[in-house]
Amino acid sequence: MANIVIIGLGLIGGSLARDLRRCGHRVTACGRDAGRLAPALKLGIVDAVEPDWQVAVAGADLVVLAVPVGRTREVYARIRPHLTADTPVTDVGSSKCSVVRDLTALCGRLPAQFVPGHPIAGTEHSGFAASVEGLFAGRTVVLTPTAETDPAAEARVAALWLEVGARVLTLSAEQHDAALALTSHLPQMLAYTLMGQFAEFGQGKTLAELAGSGFRDMTRLAGSDPAMWHDVSLANRAQLSLALRRYMERLGELAAAVDAGDSERLLALFTAAQAAHHRLPAA
Amino acid sequence: MANIVIIGLGLIGGSLARDLRRCGHRVTACGRDAGRLAPALKLGIVDAVEPDWQVAVAGADLVVLAVPVGRTREVYARIRPHLTADTPVTDVGSSKCSVVRDLTALCGRLPAQFVPGHPIAGTEHSGFAASVEGLFAGRTVVLTPTAETDPAAEARVAALWLEVGARVLTLSAEQHDAALALTSHLPQMLAYTLMGQFAEFGQGKTLAELAGSGFRDMTRLAGSDPAMWHDVSLANRAQLSLALRRYMERLGELAAAVDAGDSERLLALFTAAQAAHHRLPAA
């Protein structure tokens, strides 16, 4: 049994609280607005809500920052004076270079006890109301320790995620950000853009009747929180920009083949993509 | 009870056969290769397999062309001499201007008994093995009759789709093609392009572990049949090209906002898209 403090009780923080408590840990929730955390206490999803972050963090065996990635620095600055020297801290942000950069700027170097993390889990829904038990079962959690990271802190954070059923994958922050730009941040931009084009087209009711399961899959992510994605797209700006540019090149090539009626090229593009899809292991 | 002939027993033809037979109709299947239709007969999904199309079509109350859209003209040319004057014929192709154009070129004008149709149903799987009962329940089927279409033929075709649980929507072929370019053909191109970029990135195994549910939704369509999509993308070339160009403009605008760190613009784009997503009625 460990005392785990979760700061931010949205989809990820709330789901993690549910699982950790089920595993027998004592979970304390902190947040900007203690009133908003009250339902979690009432529902028995956390053991305590601590409005005084100093008190919460001082007694923690491990601290999880489950706040929007753009708020990581500000929240870490607030808890930093109250952390004991060996308390591991981790985060759940979707970009990792920005977190390393932000905390390095704040502290002079990345704190040895800070283990950057990112659970690849979630839905298009956000907030505590969307939190569920078992969200991380079978999912991948990426940790991006640096040479300065304390191996004991890393092991403690890894153990926490393993306990809730996740797989742990260790990458550099750069590897993580390049890969996630492609597998998560670019797809999110594509979904928003498609949904925007649909809205612009007009004929809403008729058009909606023509939107089959394919369209719905391709726009499900457009239901996601704009504020969160604003943060992520700017935090991982460099890699997202590269992924977007490459995508536009590829789509431009496809459009040119459509315009030219280039059967061979279209078949080659579609066939290669289908083959890649067949190689993708089942989730 | 009607004698219905279905030419082509893939996902759409096979699923329609299952439903029509359950409704008490007599269903006869034709196809290029009668041997490939034998399993459907054995499984009791059709009442007969007729290798002689002349015989099949001569006795039909209604004929459904469920072949790839690029083959419509060739198949219609083959059955045309054997159709009685009042036998309604419909198709299931994903583009409608091309079908009207192809049959007009063949016959001098669109035959009055031909009712162009398109059921908005299907999955990323294709072929008879993927066919299922109830595929059309609650789905929209678009009919695109012209001024020359016999209203009785149109009513017969509409009744067939209503009987298997679909909603029938009547549009012009142009309206259909512009809308479907956006709701179906463009999303298909986006999925193929994203999957192609994923394959190009390398690091297959690690990358696959980082592909969450969002990525899987955004690439599910990449599993679709390249030959079918080759046909559709060329058949609806003009409208698909317009949709692709507009999409690249919009994505370019988003990429510029990412590069410029334009918070306000990004939030506005994401918020508008999320609002449009919330307005989309449930399927």
Q: Does A271 touch chain B (CB under 8 A)?
A: yes
Of A10, A3, A21, whose CA–CA distance to A91 is shortest? A10
Task: Say how far apart CA B192 and CA A276 lie, in whole Å.
Answer: 9
Task: Say whether B184 and A281 touch across the interface (CB within 8 A).
Answer: no
Average pLDDT of chain B to the nearest whole number: 95
Burial class (CB in 10 A: 0-12, 13-18, 19+), A265: middle
Instruction: Tell me the pLDDT band of B122, cut-offs 50, 70 and 90.
Output: confident
- What phi-psi label fits residue A126: left (phi over 0), alpha (psi between -120 and 50 degrees) or beta? beta
Domains of chain B by start residue, with CATH: 3-171 (3.40.50.720), 176-279 (1.10.3660.10)
Q: How far B48 CA lies from chain A's nearest CA (Å)?
A: 32
CB atoms within 10 A of CB B44: 9
pLDDT at B72: 96
CB atoms within 10 A of CB B150: 17
Residue B36 has pLDDT above 90, yes or no: no
Angle between helices B186-201 and A237-260 (to 10 degrees): 120
Is the distance from CB of A92 to CB of A118 less than 8 angstroms? yes
Task: Say how far apart CA B146 and CA B98 lie, in whole Å.
Answer: 14
Per the structure block, which two tokens stand in for A119?
């659970």
Q: Does B222 touch chain A (CB under 8 A)?
A: yes
Tell me the average pLDDT across A237-247.
98
Model confidence pLDDT, tens digit, residues B214-232: 999 999 999 999 999 999 9
Tell me the average pLDDT across B91-118.
97
Contacts of B76 (CB under 8 A, 6+ apart): B65, B89, B102, B103, B106, B114
Per the structure block, which two tokens stand in for B151?
């209203």
Q: Which of B176, B237, B276 sits opposite A258 (nearest CB)?
A: B237
ipTM: 0.91
* Nearest Cα residue in chain A from B208: A280
Residue A124 has pLDDT above 80, yes or no: no
Q: Does A41 touch chain B (CB under 8 A)?
A: no
Task: Say how far apart CA A74 and CA A112 lie, in whole Å.
Answer: 18
pLDDT at B188: 98
pLDDT at A119: 97
Q: Which residues of A touch B243 (CB under 8 A)?
A: 197
pLDDT at A1: 86
pLDDT at B127: 87
Model confidence pLDDT, tens digit, residues A137-146: 999 999 999 9
pLDDT at A58: 92
Residue B65 has pLDDT above 80, yes or no: yes
Average pLDDT of chain A to the nearest whole number: 95
Tell me the average pLDDT across B19-39.
91
Q: Does B277 touch chain A (CB under 8 A)?
A: yes
Contacts of A17 (CB under 8 A, 6+ apart): A6, A9, A27, A29, A40, A45, A46, A131
* Nearest Cα residue in chain B from A121: B212
Is the distance from CB of B222 to CB of B123 less than 8 angstroms? no
Per the structure block, which two tokens stand in for B207?
């990358």
Q: How far A27 CA lies from chain B's nearest CA (Å)?
A: 27
Residue B32 has pLDDT above 90, yes or no: no
Task: Say how far apart CA B27 and CA A253 lie, in whole Å.
Answer: 44
Question: How many beta-carbon pairs below 8 A join chains A and B?
Answer: 299
Tell me the average pLDDT across A72-77.
96
Q: How many CA atoms lie within 13 A of B89 on its CB side?
A: 28
Instruction: Tell me the pLDDT band of B281, cut-offs 50, 70 and 90.
Output: confident
Q: How would you write chain B as a 3-class SS string?
A: CCEEEEECCCHHHHHHHHHHHHCCCEEEEECCCHHHHHHHHHCCCCCEECCCHHHHHHCCCEEEECCCHHHHHHHHHHHHHHCCCCCCEEECCCCCHHHHHHHHHHHCCCCCCEECEEECCCCCCCCHHHCCCCCCCCCEEEECCCCCCCHHHHHHHHHHHHHCCCEEEECCHHHHHHHHHHHHHHHHHHHHHHHHHHHHHCCHHHHHHCCCHHHHHHHHHHHCCHHHHHHHHHHCHHHHHHHHHHHHHHHHHHHHHHHHCCHHHHHHHHHHHHHHHHHCCCC
Q: Which residues of B touch A270 (CB under 8 A)?
A: 192, 226, 229-230
Per the structure block, which two tokens stand in for A186?
């670019």
Contacts of B136 (CB under 8 A, 6+ apart): B15, B16, B19, B119, B121, B161, B164, B165, B166
Is the distance from CB of A165 to CB of A137 less than 8 angstroms? yes
E strand or H helix at A156: helix A151-163
**Residue A65 β-bridge partners:** A7, A91
Q: Does A130 touch chain B (CB under 8 A)?
A: no
* Nearest Cα residue in chain B from A166: B209
Write phi, then psi, for B157 (nearest 5 degrees): -70, -40
Q: Does B182 touch chain A (CB under 8 A)?
A: yes
Rounded to an integer, what is the distance from CA B67 to the centroid of its chain?
A: 10
Q: Across the beta sheet with B167-170, what order do the strands follow?
A: B117-119, B140-143, B167-170
